[in-house]
Amino acid sequence: MTKRFLPLAAIFALALAQPIPAANVPQGEWIILVGGVSLNQWEKYKAQPHDHWWANFVHAARIRTEQLREQFGPDLMITWLVYKPAYIERAKQDGVDLIGDINSVRDKFNLRLVYFNKGGDVIDYLNNGQPRTSLKVAAFEYFGHSNKACFMFDYSNVIDSSAKAWLHETELSKIDRRIFAKGAFVKSWGCHTGEEMSKYWHAATGTRMWGALGKTQFMDDELPILTSEGGKWVN
């Protein structure tokens, strides 16, 4: 029997005609938690002041959102939880409509934007913000100030070098562990989370949270990086 071969050009044409499968869209809600920034009145005398730029955390969350849209497309449900009081106070300092700027990110990337006013609101949204029997949390990421024991939503915004609004590791047991999808991705991009809080998170929720050993630095054109000697991501 005579073998017949397709011309090389025809093979390439057939290959190009085959649809390229898109990345599987995670089934559930991808939640991005955005903490607030500090004020100059508290930071200006420090050797290493925080948050020269009001969008320190918002911009990092935007970079991450853009990555997710490129990877998974428009159908991925992305929700931002943003600590509003800090941006209202920073807007007074900078003389700019920061809430309007944050809203513009929502419009550009077609995401759900929820403002919150206290740490307990985050737990309330995780547990009850969506019908969790049918819509699980596929991922949860945090961009903001943190130490080894808590997320600090208003660090140096109301009180110098401290916070009045937070999510502490001892409160994590209030999160219903049934809300998470199987294999949910969880990561804190803030400083020191991996030193202690990640363990509490796992004990409370059954999911593993990536966190940093040491400090992180928020960047202009990329996601936060590790800056401490010996620093690494752990979960």
Q: Which residues are within 8 A (CB) of 9 and not within 5 positions of it... i.e. 6 or more apart?
A: none
Token pair belonging to 87: 């941006």
Query: pLDDT category, 158, cuts 50, 70, 90?
Result: confident
> What are the two backbone dihedrals, phi and then psi, of residue 225, each rounded to the nearest 5 degrees?
-120, 160
Domains and CATH numbers, the chain: 24-234 (3.40.50)
Supply angle C-alpha 102, 104, 109, rounded to 5.
105
**Residue 204 near residue 173 (C-beta atoms within 8 A):** yes
Q: For the residues 193-208, what does the mean pLDDT come to?
A: 99
**Residue 166 near residue 120 (C-beta atoms within 8 A):** no
The amino acid at residue 153 is F
Token pair belonging to 110: 């077609």
Q: For the residues 189-213, what does the mean pLDDT come to?
A: 98
Question: What is the distance between the alpha carbons of residues 13 and 77, in angstroms, rounded to a whole number?
Answer: 35
User: Which pLDDT belongs to residue 161?
Assistant: 67
Q: For the residues 13-26, what does the mean pLDDT come to?
A: 53
Q: What is the pTM of this model?
A: 0.88
3-state secondary structure the chain: CCCCCCCHHHHHHHHHHCCCCCCCCCCCEEEEEECCCCCHHHHCCCCCCCCCCCCHHHHHHHHHHHHHHHHHCCCCEEEEEEEHHHHHHHHHHHCCCHHHHHHHHHHHHCCEEEEECCHHHHHHHHHHCCCCCCCCEEEEEEECEECCCEEECCCCCCCCCCCCCEEEHHHHHHCCHHHEEEEEEEEECCCCHHHCHHHHHHHHHCCCEEEEECCEECCCCCCCEECCCCCEEEC
Compute the Cα dihedral for 159, 117, 125, 184 and give only its sign: negative
Query: pLDDT category, 20, cuts 50, 70, 90?
Result: very low
Tens digit of each residue's pLDDT (9 = 90 or more) over 35-93: 998 887 766 767 677 777 899 999 999 999 999 999 999 999 999 999 999 999 999 99
